[in-house]
Structure 1
């Protein structure tokens, strides 16, 4: 398995690793990666790979389909010579982009707190994101929701993680807010992202994405359009204010 270093520390911007394989499509597989692979509504990270006398621009990171070992592949921005298998490389993130995605992702978790309804979909991008809710009727006061969301952000809650077993998650289905996508299971354990602490826990849900360490790091946000999507669903857009 490619060790996913970002799961334990989303703030690692540069790290060394070894090339262990190439994909038929021209991707690079490392033994350990700081690049998040596309999934769960969050896009893959971009950045560079460097080794002696060479630098390769990475457009994104993806999960290798049908990989039983859980490997991920770095996808070059354009065709270029790849580092040979066994090469020691330095991986560097496009940090500004990654950090924006982290801020948006944590803000969306808080959005699911101020709108306590089942989530039927979602998407994260640089500076903005959205969640789809099982919401037959539009909110009465969007401005009030926005004020509540920013109030939670300003309270500077700690964002942390924990792990539970697959069986523990099955025994606690209320932890899963998403209606359409179940968290990845089968590896024996599931990662939980917690906002707040034992004294005042605001949110706890399965999530494999990257997040900021404290809610104040999100900064102010604003709610955009609320669109009707089918009979039961409404799409709520969120934007970072800076």
Structure 2
């Protein structure tokens, strides 16, 4: 299975890899990938592959049925041959914006402590759907609290726990419709804050900034009613 390099270090922008497979649809499977595959509301990464003087633009990345990460070309150009050594290079500005938005949505789930029924991320904003009957009244207070967490420049880190450990702590799971990400039977936890004094701790397989200060100022956007017990809340990056 493709090794997900983005889990080891989300800040690596370029890395070598070997072509393991060319799919019937013309996708490229590498032995290890910097590209985050579409999932958990976060879009797949874009970028380019370089080999032997050739370049292949990558529009996105997805997981196939075998769990491998497939890089999807944006143009019908020549593909690298099987076994070729390639250099993968991310569209870093887009990836870093996804990291900022994703971490910001974790903060949104802190100030709005309701079950999360859905979510989506873009390079400029994100949204979460909450299982709650009424829209919050103190929008300014929620926005101020999130921005105070950003001003703290809190550390963002991760770790792994077993399925049994997660089953013993079901309060860590905020998403109501999506199963926590599992790797080798274990579950990745993303922590905002310190181990003994955290702001947020929940299962997540996405990419995040290293400190909340990188997010920048946040603005709470519109809040839409999507059902009797569902509210969609938008969150925007300041720049």
Q: TM-score, with normalisation over the residues of structure 2?
A: 0.98
Task: Tell me the CA shift for residue 217 of structure 1.
Answer: 0.4
Q: How many residues align?
A: 239
SS in 2 for 1:190: strand
In structure 2, what is the equivalent of residue 45 of structure 1? 45
Conserved? CA contact 2:13–2:34, under 8 Å: yes
CA contact 1:166–1:186 (8 Å) conserved in 2: no
| Residue 71 (structure 2) aligns with | 74
Q: Of residues 184, 195, 210 in structure 2, which corresponds to 1:213?
A: 210
Q: Give the conservation status (yes or no) of the 8 Å contact 2:44–2:62.
A: yes
Tell me the CA shift for residue 186 of structure 1: 6.9
Is the Cα contact below 8 Å between 2:182 and 2:188 reproduced in 1? no
Q: Deviations over 1:90-124 (max 9, x none)?
A: 00000000000000000000000011111111000
Query: Segments of 4+ in structure 1 off by > 4 A?
Result: none
**Is residue 19–residue 30 contact of structure 1 (8 Å, CA) maintained in 2?**
yes
1:10 aligns to 2:10 (yes or no): yes
Q: Could you tell me which of 89, 101, 106 is aligned with 1:109?
A: 106
Aligned to 1:99: 96
How far apart, in 2, do the equivalents of 1:173 and 1:93 lie?
Answer: 35
Report how far residue 227 of structure 1 moved. 0.5
Question: Are the counterparts in 2 of residues 132 and 235 from structure 1 also a CA contact under 8 Å?
Answer: yes
Match of 1:177 in 2: 174
> Which of 146, 160, 163 lines up with 2:160 in the alignment?
163
Deviates more, 1:184-193 or 1:168-177: 184-193
Instruction: Could you tell me which runs of 5 or more consecutive residues in structure 1 were left unpaired when the two chains were aligned.
Output: none
8 Å contact kept, 2:117–2:130: yes
SS at match of 2:166: helix
Alignment correspondent of 2:232: 235
What's the CA shift string for 1:108-157, capped at 9, x where partnerless? 00000011111111000111000011110111111111111101111110
Normalization by structure 1: what TM-score? 0.97
SS in 1 for 2:206: coil
The answer on whether the counterparts of 1:118 and 1:177 sit within 8 Å (CA) in structure 2 is yes
Partner of 1:22: 22
Instruction: Kindly indicate whether residue 138 of structure 2 is the aligned counterpart of residue 121 of structure 1.
Output: no
